[in-house]
Structure 1
Amino acid sequence: MTSLDDGTSPPEYRSGFACFVGRPNAGKSTLTNALVGQKVAITSSRPQTTRHAIRGIVHRDDGQLVLVDTPGLHRPRTLLGQRLNDLVRTTWAEVDVVGLCIPADERLGPGDRYIASEIARIARTPKIAVVTKTDRVSDDRLAEQLVAVAELGTELDLDWAEIVPVSAVAGQQVDLLAGLLLAQMPPGPPLYPEGDLTDEPEETLVAELIREAALEGVRDELPHSIAVVVEEMIPREDRPADRPLLDVHVNIYVERDSQKSIVIGKKGARLRDVGTRARQHIERLLGTPVYLDLHVKVAKDWQRDPKQLGRLGF
């Protein structure tokens, strides 16, 4: 190892996996995006938005963090819900550090307590408490929440490696959190090439961006009923090299005809709006103009049907 000019050694390079867990809508996806510096996980005001363990990659001079943003752990009502919970627990067992996200603007509830008790059972894996959404509360309220989180750890015999307040939206203490997570990682080389921000296939990210756009402004019961499958992504033939166009053909699945009508909207207005907003994000992600072809189909009760779940990627 080379020495610095002042005679000290550079910090040892570290790399590893960190997982954010928490009840639905605790700010996990927003925090993942803030740490990575680009949108790799979809966000929504709706709970239970995340359906995949998206990996976001944080590159630093002193190491590399691979962030796994899992679905929110919840009481499952469908086969899909059970599979999402299984995905969370599988992820916990494979990472180097677990971060429990607890929003600053809500009192600790049964959901927080349940998830904290679950991760307390994971032997030897460091746990960091991340108090999110600090921009929404006063200093006094934040102090109360930090004390409550510390007391929760004592109550459950859960030895927090750190308790960190952050605001992903305001960018407060995000870099500090990255450093604290990295300090828990083992020494080792980079796990992904410089410049890579996620290891998710482009089709998965595109599908998630479309689902995010479809979730906005719909009735409360609809988000859990929407699945998106990218059927094809192919460059348009006969286009000049300086004017490429990518054709993206997508099916949006819902469970009932009434839901199909909601997604499409009056004279197709909602679906056009979904396509416009999603296309902007997709073009930024892929760096190329896109023609987005959206179709809405009914897959009756797909959340409870093992065969249909498999076809839709769950």
Structure 2
Amino acid sequence: MPDHKHLTLKDHVRETQIFNQRLIIAAVLMAGLTLILVARMVYLQIINLSHFALLSENNRVSILPIPPTRGLIYDRNGILLAQNLPSFTLELVTEHMHDVNETIRQIGKLITLSEEDIKRFNKNRSHKRRFEGIPLRFRLNDSEVARIAVNQYRMPGVNIRATLTRHYPLGALGAHAIGYVGRINVEDLRSLDESNYSGTNYIGKTGIERAYEDQLHGRVGMQKVETNAQGKILRVLERTLPVPGKNLYLNLDVKLQAVAEAGFGDHTGALVAIDPRNGAVLALVSV
């Protein structure tokens, strides 16, 4: 039998229809995706512009407190009873840390950290905002400052802050009258104006230091700074200087105070020396 060859003829009309259908589907999909993209851009760039602009600004600009200088205390003859001496404090800004505990462990390899230091830090951490510095160690010596400074680039959020600490040049003389300052604790925070104690770690605890806390403390200042991604300050945009605390001049006479305290020796008792002309307290002893 003779071979018959089968010829397959293309249906160009049908193929054109299929091609056009696919082209229309692709065009519809592209148009839909474009509309979604445009809608998202409108939402980000127009509808929610202020929100995202604020987030961007907050990532770039930080508000930092400038603590005021505490006022000095003098006796009636101008003898200094309480002053401020420079000191270095190690602070952590947890906002810039991936793992706070790991950072503390690294710091512990460089300087001595006690359990009390870490416990106090964790307690204060619950009352501070993430962008605020939280003290970890106080009164670092020059060697400790140098070790932290050399390794600071490896530990984002670790800062060394130069502060002033309270010092009493006459030691225990008149201590029960003058009082002392101590670190702010959780109980203190309940009664304090936290906005005025930002960046401040000490408060008057007893005696004149406590009774005249409002006058001695002063008013906190603020500075708006621009930072990079690591939290490093690039420049200061705006600054409001703090108002230093007022100096106090007491009626107390430390020479008379020294004589009165020495007079008691090992005995217990109390003494108040008053100027009868005006009622000024010249010496106050309670042993």
**Same-fold call, TM cutoff 0.5:** no
Larger Cα Rg: Structure 1 or Structure 2?
Answer: 2
| Greater relative contact order, per chain length (Cα 8 Å cut-off, separation 6+) | 2
Higher helix share: 2
TM-score, length-scaled by structure 1:
0.22
TM-score, length-scaled by structure 2:
0.23
